[in-house]
Every structure is written in structure tokens, then in C-alpha cells.
Amino acid sequence: MIVGKALAGWLADEKEQARRTAETEDFARRFQAIPARAALEEGLRGAETGGADEILELARTFLEDDSGIRECVDEMIGAASRNPYFQPTLRTASTALHSGLLLYDGPRLTIMLAVMGPDAIAAKRVFRQGGASISFGGQKSLFRFLKAGGAVLSFWEAPDIGADFAGDATLRCRLTERRPIADGETLAIDGARQSFVIEHASSPLVYLQALTPLDAAPVMSEFDSITHAFAGASSTDDAGSRIGMMLSLLRVMDRKDAVPLFVEMLAAPHFYARWHAMREFLALDAQEALPHLRKMAEADPHQEVRAAASQTLRAFFPEQTAQQELAEQCPN
Amino acid sequence: MKKLDIRTLPELKTKVGAYGSVKQQEVGGVVCAGVFIIIAQS
């Protein structure tokens, strides 16, 4: 921490501040030009329509390029040693457990360099209150442990989570392996069905994680760590969840001019997003929603959505539903 | 125009929380900007 006269002098010297800012901007340019990182960018540009596997193969080349990673770190250390006010122009991703910097931060891929201390891991275990779960993130990722920290990992598998996923208390995850990991080891994790738990570490773990939202499962799932039974799910779709909240707001604001947006969201890729849109639509304007509700009851690809739509038709539109059924039975 | 009380409309059997919802964080997982590491229960 910089305190006292040095900080006071810096705060009073605008030219010095501008010079340090320019140095930080220079860092950003040099960092982006590091050959390993530039090659990754170029690869991503050439794979604009690529899926998760293709993107993660590009990431693997970067993760396993020790000299490239060292160049990234050296660039930051050099900048910090020249400029005590230097802050990396990289997004941080830190929690109580780890400190991380995003070496690459794009919509299709993030690559984080992180360190996790054994003390934080032990504290998490000792001071946890309540139950714990084994979580499956839904997204595909690669981990490369630069320093494995003497860590022992347990590996878990869950039933594959696809577009037709239905949360069911009979679903179980299972332990597949428990073993130490080695310095330099790379793990590919498909979060739709694979996960791992850090059981123990004796020294800090330093690792890289590449993560892509492409081809993700519709939900992140959690299983009870004792019974291994399915415990809950949440969305893997950040933008979709925000849009869902916006629909709720539009409904509360009684914005009937937004009906086309509600109709559009009825075709959302995830089953829970489609039903959320329909509930909000029905609460906004039930008559406008009715033909879409009928269509959903007949043809939505997800069984639970069809069932909920049919239940809604019977409960809230019994006459129209009866008339429709009669007309279908007696077309003439 | 008919309006329905949203609280009376059926929910799906499979409850799905919003992205980054508390549910993801309350059970020992760590989720932050794509960070996903789980620590074993002692």
C-alpha cells in the first residue's frame, strides 16, 4: 500500500498521474500483442461459427503454452515494478477462496489465471454452515493446474442435462474417481455431466481456467453432497435471465405495447424461459396470450411446459377449451 | 380484456433459479465470472 508523502505527491501532480495512465495504456497494448494471446485472438476470429469444442481447442493451445503464459505474467510484473500505481487492465474475478485475473475476456471464451490458498479452502470446509452440494456448472471448461498445490480432487458424474431436462428427486450423481492432481495437468470438464470437488490442498493452487458459454446445458444443477440426490437447478443463460426479469417488469408496468416481445420470448431456447414468458404474458393480456397458450399445450418440445399449458387452459379457459375440442371432434 | 393473477398460474415441476441466483451460492459452490470450483465438505 502506498501511503504518506509519496501518495500525497502523486495526488497533487497531474502530469505524473497522466504519465502513469499512459504507462498503463501501453501495458494494455503490449499485453494484447503478446504472441500467444494474439494467436488466440486470431484463432477465435477464424472460428466465428465454431462450437464449444472448437473454441476450447484454441484455448487449450494457449493454456499449454508455458512460455506464453509466463510472458503474460512477466508483462504484469514488469509494469508493476516500474509503476507503483499500476493496475492491470484486466477484469478481476475473485472470491473469498481465490484471486483471479481474466487473461482473455470475450463473449465466447474467458480465460482466468487464478490462485487459491489452502487456508481459504480449509476455512470454507470448517466454517460452512448447513448442507453442501455438488454442483454441475452446465458449461464446458478446461482447467490447467500450473501448481497443483498437493490437491486431491474427487470427480463426479451426473445424468446428462439436455434440453428435455426434468428435475427429479430420483436423479443421482455418482463419484467416479478420487486422486491427486499433478503440476501441469489439464482437465476437460463438461459441466452438463461432469464436476470435481477439491478435497484437500497443502499449498496454493495456481491454475488457468478456460470457459465457454457455447453449447451449454440449459441449467446448472446441484446434488446433495450426502445423499447425492438432485437438489436444484438454476439457469446457465445470463442474458436470458435478464430478459425474463425485463418481461416481469413490463408486465408490472402494464406495457401492452410490448406484447410482440412476449410473443418472441415464447420461442426461447430454454423450457423454463418459455414458460416464464407465457405466465407473464397471461398476466399481461390473457386473450392475446390464449392462442399461443393453445399452441404451447400442443406442441412445446418440453413435457412439463405442455403439461403446465394444458393445466392452465383447463383451469382458466374451460369454455373456450371445450368449444375448441368440440370443433376439432366435429369439424363439419 | 381478461387478466390473470400470476400467482394463480401453474409453475413447472422443475424449478429453475435465475442465472447467478442465491441458490447457486448457498450450497458451497463458488460461481463468479465463470469461476467454478467446489470445496469438499469436511
User: Min CA distance, B21 vs chain A (Å)?
Assistant: 7
Name the band, by pLDDT with cuts 50, 70 and 90, for residue A128. Answer: low
Supply the mean pLDDT for chain B: 64
| Arithmetic mean of pLDDT, A35-55 | 95
Name the more confident of B12 and A321: B12
C-alpha cell at A238: 445470463
| Arithmetic mean of pLDDT, A271-300 | 96
Which residue is closest to B19 within chain A, CA to CA?
A235
User: Quick check: helix, strand or coil at residue A206?
Assistant: strand
Name the band, by pLDDT with cuts 50, 70 and 90, for residue A32. Answer: very high
Contact A133 B18 (CB under 8 A): no
| Arithmetic mean of pLDDT, A285-301 | 96
Nearest to A293 by CA among A302, A285, A303, A282: A282
Q: What is the pLDDT of residue A299?
A: 96
Name the band, by pLDDT with cuts 50, 70 and 90, for residue A203. Answer: very high
In this complex, which of B2, B9, B16 lies closest to A272 when CB atoms are compared? B16
Least confident of A84-88, A141-145, A308-312, A313-317: A84-88
3-state secondary structure A159-201: CCCCCCCCCCCCCECEEEEEEECCCCCEEEEECCCEEEEEEEC
Nearest to A213 by CA among B26, B36, B22: B36
Q: What is the pLDDT of residue B6?
A: 94
Residue B39, pLDDT > 70, answer no
Name the band, by pLDDT with cuts 50, 70 and 90, for residue A197. Answer: confident
ipTM of the complex: 0.76
Contact A219 B16 (CB under 8 A): yes
Residue A329, pLDDT > 90, answer no
Name the band, by pLDDT with cuts 50, 70 and 90, for residue A306. Answer: very high
Supply the mean pLDDT for chain A: 90
Name the band, by pLDDT with cuts 50, 70 and 90, for residue A199. Answer: confident
**List of chain B residues whose C-beta atoms are within 8 Å of the C-beta of residue A116:** 37
Tell whether B34 lies on the interface with A, counting CB pairs under 8 A: yes
User: Min CA distance, A129 vs chain B (Å)?
Assistant: 9
Name the more confident of A218 and B27: A218
**List of chain B residues whose C-beta atoms are within 8 Å of the C-beta of residue A195:** 38
In sequence order, the 6+-apart residues with CB closer than 8 A to the CB of A322 are: none
User: Min CA distance, B28 vs chain A (Å)?
Assistant: 5
Residue B34, pLDDT > 70, answer no
Nearest to A306 by CA among B13, B8, B7: B13
Least confident of A168-177, A232-241, A319-328: A319-328
In this complex, which of B4, B18, B27 lies closest to A282 when CB atoms are compared? B4
Cβ atoms within 10 Å, residue A227: 11
CA-to-CA distance for A127 and B33, rounded, in angstroms?
Answer: 24
> How does strand B35-39 pair with strand A194-200?
parallel
| Arithmetic mean of pLDDT, A128-141 | 81
The full DSSP string for A94-140 is --SSEEEEEEEE-SS-EEEEEEE-HHHHHHHHHH--S--EEEE-SSE
User: Min CA distance, B34 vs chain A (Å)?
Assistant: 6
In this complex, which of A154, A222, A245 lies closest to B40 when CB atoms are compared? A154
Residue B40, pLDDT > 60, answer no
Q: What is the DSSP letter of A301?
A: S
Nearest to A76 by CA among A45, A99, A56, A98: A99
Least confident of A58-72, A150-164, A278-292: A150-164
Mutate to test the interface with A, among B6, B36, B42 (most CBs of A within 10 A): B36
Contact B15 A305 (CB under 8 A): no
**List of chain B residues whose C-beta atoms are within 8 Å of the C-beta of residue A94:** 32
> Among residues of chain B, what percentage have pLDDT more than 70?
45
Best-predicted range by mean pLDDT (A9-23, A229-243, A285-299, B14-28): A285-299
Name the band, by pLDDT with cuts 50, 70 and 90, for residue A94. Answer: confident
Contact B20 A200 (CB under 8 A): no
Q: What Cα–Cα distance (Å) separates residue A12 from each residue in A24, A114, A297? A: 19, 35, 68
Name the band, by pLDDT with cuts 50, 70 and 90, for residue A129. Answer: low
Tell whether A137 lies on the interface with B, counting CB pairs under 8 A: yes
Mutate to test the interface with B, among A125, A135, A139, A205 (most CBs of B within 10 A): A135
Nearest to A173 by CA among A200, A198, A141, A195: A195
Least confident of A26-35, A131-140, A226-235: A131-140
The per-residue pLDDT for range A225-278, each reduced to its tens digit, is 889 999 889 898 888 889 999 999 999 999 999 999 999 999 999 999 999 999
C-alpha cell at A155: 470427480
